[in-house]
Amino acid sequence: MTVDERQLASAVVEFHEGSPPLVRITLREEQPLDAEKVQELLDLLTSRIVERSQILVDSRGLASMTREARELAAGDQIVPFVHRIAVLVGSPVSTIISNFVIHVSRPRYPISAFTDEASAMAWLSDASRGHR
């Protein structure tokens, strides 16, 4: 059940109830993602999340992401609010960007990329049962 939905310039963010809660972020197609847009998203998340949450990021339509945006997304600001992040990829661009975030920026939270939503949700669900 969706608790709340917020529309940002760069994404649609849905907050779902549960234990742990789920936040679904759908990045708008063909929109470049810069540090300002990532900060807007982080500000929303840190103001709305009250307990560590599973986060599903649908980046399949992502056009580009600046280095500064990648570093900000992988930074410590979100760590206290995140249990795990699953990233949906599809295009070569979204796959390359997610690989940069995961393997170059190296966030301090568990993160993995998936090509299908069922696998991503299974991974998030597995974490909610205490598996890393």
What confidence score (pLDDT) does residue 127 get?
Answer: 61
In this predicted structure, the answer to whether residue 80 has a pLDDT above a threshold of 60 is yes
Q: Burial letters for 32-62: b for 16+ Cβ neighbours within 10 Å, e otherwise?
A: ebbbebbeebbebbeebbeeebbbbbbbbbb
Residue 27: inside a domain: yes
Whole-angstrom distance, CA of residue 131 vs CA of residue 46: 24
Question: What residues have CB less than 8 Å from 77, skipping those under 6 apart?
Answer: 42, 46
Whether 31 maps to a domain, the answer reads yes
Question: Is residue 95 a part of any domain in this protein?
Answer: yes
Domain contains 129: no
> Which pLDDT does position 31 carry in this prediction?
83
Q: Kindly report the average pLDDT of the chain as a whole number.
A: 91
Task: Look at residue 131 and tell me if it is in a domain.
Answer: no
Count of domains forming the chain = 1
- Segment 95-120 shows an average pLDDT of 94
Cα atoms in the 13 Å half-sphere on the side-chain side of 5? 6
In a domain, 93, yes or no: yes
**Containing domain of residue 88, as a range?**
2-124
Query: What digits encode the pLDDT tens for the residues 21-60?
Result: 999 999 998 888 999 999 999 999 999 998 899 999 999 9
The verdict on residue 130 lying in a domain is no
CA dist., res. 129 & res. 116, Å (int): 21
Mean pLDDT of 85-91: 96
CATH of the domain at 34: 3.30.750.24
